[in-house]
Every structure is written in C-alpha cells, then in structure tokens.
Amino acid sequence: MLLRWLIFLVFFGLVQWYSFQVIKTIDLNKWFIGFYWIVIGLVLGNFMYHSFYYSRATGFTPSFSFAAGLFMSLFIFQLILVLFLAFEDLLRLPQAVYRFFVERGEGNYLPSRRKFISQIALGLAAIPFASLLIGMFKGKYNYKVLHYALTFDDLPKAFDGFTLTQISDIHSGSFDNAAKVNYGIDLINEQKSDVILFTGDIVNNKADELLPWKDAFGRLSAKEGVYSVLGNHDYGDYVNWETNAEKEANLQQLFAIQAEMGFTLLRNETHFLEKDGQRLALVGVENWGKGGFKKKGDLEKAIANVAADDFKILLSHDPSHWEAKYCPIPIISI
C-alpha cells in the first residue's frame, strides 16, 4: 500500500513539475501562481485523506466522490498541458541536437518555449476542466426532458399515442439536495405519461442510500404504473460484505423499498399492459454487461410467456446484452 502511494506521489509530482512549465512560460502573476499551488495542495490532500479512510465496507460516499472528482478534474487539466508540452519538446529537441553538433556554440542549446503554445494549451485544458466542475456542482440536477415521437407499423392501435417516460441511473446515494430531487420528481410527473420506466442503478452501493429519498420517488405517478429493472450498482457488488447473507439481505431490502415506492420490479419477466382487448409487453431483464459485469439478465426466460406477434418494449440497463445475445425482440433504445 505504502509503495503504491509512493509511486503515485512520484508520478503526480512529475506531472506537476512538467505541467507547471506552462505557467512559467506564460509568466503569470505571482499571486496567481501561489493560488495555483494552494489549490493543488488542497485537492491532493483532500483526495489522499478520503483515500486513506476509504472502506470497501461502506463504498463510495458523496464526500469521497467529490474528492475523487476534484482530483480527476485537476489531473485531466494537467495531462492536457503535459501533452502540449511533450509535443513542443519533440520539436525543440532536434533543434537542440543540431545546435550542439553543428553550431558548436556555448550556452543553452534548447530553444525557449513559445508563449503562444502554452497559452493555447492552457485555454484548451480549461474547457474540460470547467466542464467537469460544472458537471460535479450543477450537472446532476440539470434535468432535461427529451421528447421523441416513435412510429411502428406493428404497434397495436389501442396504444396509438401511448406515452412513456424513461429515467435511469439516479444513484440516489449521490443526492444531497432534497429540493432539487423533488423538483425532478415533479418534472417527471408533469409529463403525465402513460407509464414510467426506470432502467437501473437506483443506488451506488447499498439499499439504505435510497431510504432518505423513498418518499420522494414514491410520488412518481403514471396511468399504467412505474416499472423498473436492476443495474450493475444495485446488487451491492462494489462493497465488501462480511457474509453472503448480509449481501443478500441488502438486495432484498432494495426490492422491498422499490415495492414500497410503488415500483414494479421486473426480474427477467414480462408484464402485459392491456387496453381495448389488445396488449403490449414490457420485458424487463436483470443486469447483463460485457467483461466483468454481472450477468444475471436472461432474455429467454423473460420472454417465455410472450407471443411472437406481441409488441414488446425491452427494459435493460446495458444495451450490450441485446447486442451480445441477438434475441429477436424489437427494441427501443433511448
């Protein structure tokens, strides 16, 4: 552990030294330079503090996510500066070699850095840096309603004009503003959709993250109900549990909370919506992801009672499941 931190600090220090050459080249005010180093110290210290006290038994907390987000924002900013400097050095080094062997002069053979290149690097690096900061502080509550009009030749006529609202990946453990959360709930309800579909990752790690927001999400309302499936974060795989029984109890608690909120959880099963003697199949599968992600989704099991000519809407957290299995279900991907 100590060796990894030592390697990390050495690497981080080299990035700091190299990227700081941009600041030196531009020759900014000494107060700005002082502020720059204070910010770096605070961000790195905050990240190291939360990393030392991070526990796999607790998982990602909002404060740890905030510390990691600030660190990554700064690190990406500096890596962009490093890339520009490295590109410039690829041009400077041949010139230095030429001066050393051909001109045989004295002094510094390495040409000075060009100020305008450092200015361009600083300007471009500031774009993702600012975007990440805005996303951290405002993005999670910057709700957008996107409207799509979809047409299908085989859609039952009784469902012509049928409306649905899809929401996903709320990661309730990251919420910290009740007013903003309730505003989002109101915005969803204002759509007055026939059905609301939630496609997974309702928590970061543990079911109890959802408890403070249970009443808020319990207010979600649609004519035909609210239906959900599980995402990879919902199983509690990203924390350490003392026993498998404790992990299973957490999952059962998540099921219970969703039921209390009025969500109909579809676990590799289908629910039929019926109207005027016609029906529409909501096919919900558990999470299935490429690589090391949990693969509990079972498309074949989910459609066991579905007729070939039924119109189907598939609820799946990860579209790669569909792509990998090639199950012949018409899919709406939004």
Can you name the residues that pair with 275 across neighbouring β-strands?
278
pLDDT value, residue 139 = 79
pLDDT value, residue 218 = 96
pLDDT surpasses 50 at 69: yes
**Helical (H) or strand (E) element with 314:** strand 311-315
Residue 302 near residue 268 (C-beta atoms within 8 A): yes
**Helical (H) or strand (E) element with 282:** strand 278-284
pLDDT surpasses 70 at 332: no
pLDDT value, residue 326 = 58
pLDDT tens-digit readout, 2-12: 777 788 888 88
Alpha-carbon dihedral angle through residues 294, 296, 300, 303, given to the nearest 10 degrees: -120
Task: Read off the DSSP letter of residue 239.
Answer: S
Range with lowest mean pLDDT among 132-146, 195-209, 305-319: 132-146
Tokens 């249970």 appear where?
A: 214
Task: Read off the DSSP letter of residue 195.
Answer: E
SS3 243: coil
pLDDT value, residue 334 = 46
